[in-house]
């Protein structure tokens, strides 16, 4: 069994924590439903213009687990054009 984690550092078009919460909750909720992964905001909670999101998947196949996380990154990039992905890291846990 393989566990992989995707960490996305995002630059958000939000000026308040309330605007940020709307964007982050939208990304996380839709990702849970679409990809069936565990996800959460893991850092920069008090910064309105930035967020660090983590996505985790478990699979018996390394390739499938990595592909799911790569698709999540592409999905965020395409689904939220006003959100900039500053950094991305996929690692095996």
pLDDT in tens, 25-80: 999 999 999 998 999 999 988 889 999 999 999 999 999 999 999 999 999 999 98
Q: Indicate whether this model's pTM tops 0.85.
A: yes
For residues 21 and 25, give the distance between their C-alpha atoms in angstroms, rounded to a whole number.
Answer: 6
CB 4 within 8 A of CB 91: yes
What is the reported pLDDT for 22? 92
pLDDT given at position 42 = 93
């Amino acid at each position: 069994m393989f566990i992989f984690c995707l960490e996305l550092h995002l630059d958000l078009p939000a000026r308040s924590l309330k605007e940020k919460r709307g964007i982050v909750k939208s990304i996380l909720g839709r990702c849970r439903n679409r990809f069936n992964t565990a996800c959460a905001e893991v850092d920069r909670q008090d910064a309105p213009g930035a967020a660090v999101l983590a996505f985790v998947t478990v699979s018996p196949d390394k390739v499938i687990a990595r592909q799911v996380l790569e698709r999540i990154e592409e999905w965020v990039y395409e689904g939220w054009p006003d959100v900039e992905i500053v950094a991305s890291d996929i690692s095996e846990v």
